[in-house]
């Protein structure tokens, strides 16, 4: 790691931005040199809490870029306000981390990936769910191949979340703002990309969301596996955790994940269970946003790809917009297009803790 800290401007410091403020404040490898938010008071509170000078607040990224010497930007605004700061920061020569989802439309996402390509800067999307102990372990179990090929997966996500902000108004809030985590996990855990999807979306009568917040989708994966995703953000009283409940059917058994527990039902011959194994959860070297930041800094220092750079992430976010299109039209929709398929997926990128 470089001894000189990487200088960061954070855009969007309220809400989930507070998590990033903590992560950056606690890292010796980075230094906060600018806070940008449309809400001045939110930024002032952040300065007071973290002991930063109020002089590092800027009402716009343009002003921050003019006044603060920075190496990187972290963007934690609502999804519709990702494209502008991400592209502006890349064009100013900064490397960028943004929160998921990359943007609210595939057109915006592709423009952002093109900006990274054009400028040669690094753009990483924070898919922190990959770097939680249980999902990390689940990926290692499935990708080790010891249970053979994956044939079918069922993933159920049921939570009742009373949001009052952009999610309440946006179209398909579950799929666009939340399921991006699950779709990215599907690629991460299975080690294969989605090819096509059929889906239906609806809004239950009691939902407080303006648009459909429930969904059922069926993905066809490049490996031939099928993944059924069922989700709702207005579930009544019966909830799973944020990872959802997973049932992964493999050649030699089934892997279950539920509420932090991973269980393998071994069925090496025909269909009968011969033994049941409780898998010990082994965490990654760092968790969540801390891993994302370390992966970004390491990739930046070594010229490697980060695990969730935009060229990889476009293949996760393309699943989101293909699902939206399938819900709108009722048709089977291909995931991505000729342009996104040119961008090399990160499936081949070895995670640094595995190689090192």
Q: Where along the sequence are the contacts to ligand NAD (CB under 6 A)?
A: 11-17, 36-39, 42, 76-79, 81, 99-100, 126, 128, 165-166, 177
How far is 95 from 93, CA to CA, in rounded Å? 7
* Cβ closest to ligand NAD, residue 126 vs residue 198: 126
CB of 129 to ligand NAD, least distance (A): 7
How far is 331 from 326, CA to CA, in rounded Å? 5
* Cβ closest to ligand NAD, residue 12 vs residue 244: 12
* Cβ closest to ligand NAD, residue 40 vs residue 236: 40
Strand partners, 345: none
* Cβ closest to ligand NAD, residue 78 vs residue 191: 78
* Cβ closest to ligand NAD, residue 15 vs residue 160: 15
CB of 43 to ligand NAD, least distance (A): 8
H-helix segments, 35-132: 40-50, 61-67, 83-91, 106-119
CB of 262 to ligand NAD, least distance (A): 21
CA-based R_g, the chain, Å: 20
* Cβ closest to ligand NAD, residue 162 vs residue 271: 162
- Structure tokens belonging to residue 186: 């599907």
H-helix segments, 174-287: 179-190
How far is 253 from 110, CA to CA, in rounded Å? 39
CB of 183 to ligand NAD, least distance (A): 14
Nearest by Cα to 234 from 185, 201, 199: 201
* Cβ closest to ligand NAD, residue 5 vs residue 78: 78
How far is 65 from 156, CA to CA, in rounded Å? 43
Nearest by Cα to 128 from 288, 302, 328, 316: 288
How far is 115 from 344, CA to CA, in rounded Å? 16
* Cβ closest to ligand NAD, residue 147 vs residue 296: 296
Nearest by Cα to 194 from 169, 214, 223, 168: 223
- Structure tokens belonging to residue 119: 């400028």
CB of 81 to ligand NAD, least distance (A): 4
Strand partners, 154: 228, 247
CB atoms within 10 A of CB 236: 10
CB atoms within 10 A of CB 191: 16
* Cβ closest to ligand NAD, residue 128 vs residue 207: 128
Alpha-carbon distance values, 244 to 65, 239, 259 (Å): 40, 9, 8
**What DSSP string describes 85-112?**
HHHHHHHTT-EEEEESSS-SSHHHHHHH
CB of 40 to ligand NAD, least distance (A): 9
């Amino acid at each position: 790691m470089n001894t000189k800290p990487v200088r960061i401007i954070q855009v969007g410091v309220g809400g989930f931005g507070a998590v990033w403020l903590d992560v950056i404040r606690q890292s010796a490898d980075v230094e906060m040199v600018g806070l940008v938010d449309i809400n001045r008071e939110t930024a002032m509170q952040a300065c007071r809490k973290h002991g930063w000078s109020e002089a590092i607040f800027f009402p716009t990224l343009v002003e921050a870029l003019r006044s603060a010497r920075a190496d990187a930007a972290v963007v934690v605004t609502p999804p519709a306000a990702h494209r502008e700061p991400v592209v502006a920061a890349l064009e100013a020569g900064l490397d960028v981390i943004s929160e998921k989802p990359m943007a609210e439309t595939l057109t915006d996402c592709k423009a952002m990936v093109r900006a990274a390509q054009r400028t040669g800067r690094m753009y990483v999307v924070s898919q922190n769910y990959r770097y939680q102990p249980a999902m990390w372990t689940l990926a290692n179990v499935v990708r080790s191949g010891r249970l053979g090929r994956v044939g079918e997966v069922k993933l159920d996500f049921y939570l009742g979340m009373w949001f009052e902000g952009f999610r309440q108004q946006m179209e398909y809030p579950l799929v666009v703002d939340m399921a991006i985590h699950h779709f990215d996990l599907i690629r991460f855990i299975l080690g294969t990309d989605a090819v096509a999807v059929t889906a239906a979306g609806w809004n239950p009568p009691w939902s407080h969301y303006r648009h459909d917040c429930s969904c059922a989708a069926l993905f066809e994966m490049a490996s031939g596996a099928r993944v059924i995703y069922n989700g709702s953000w207005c579930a009544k009283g019966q909830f799973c955790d944020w990872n959802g409940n997973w049932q992964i059917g493999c050649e030699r058994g089934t892997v279950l994940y539920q509420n932090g527990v991973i269980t393998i039902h071994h069925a090496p011959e025909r269909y009968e269970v011969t033994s049941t194994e409780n898998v010990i959860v082994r965490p990654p070297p760092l968790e969540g946003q801390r891993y994302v930041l370390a992966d970004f800094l390491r990739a930046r220092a070594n010229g490697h790809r980060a695990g969730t750079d935009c060229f990889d992430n476009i293949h996760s976010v393309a699943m989101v917009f293909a699902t939206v299109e399938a819900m709108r039209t009722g048709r089977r929709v291909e995931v991505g297009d000729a342009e996104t398929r040119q961008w090399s997926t990160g499936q081949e990128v070895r995670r640094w803790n595995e190689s090192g």
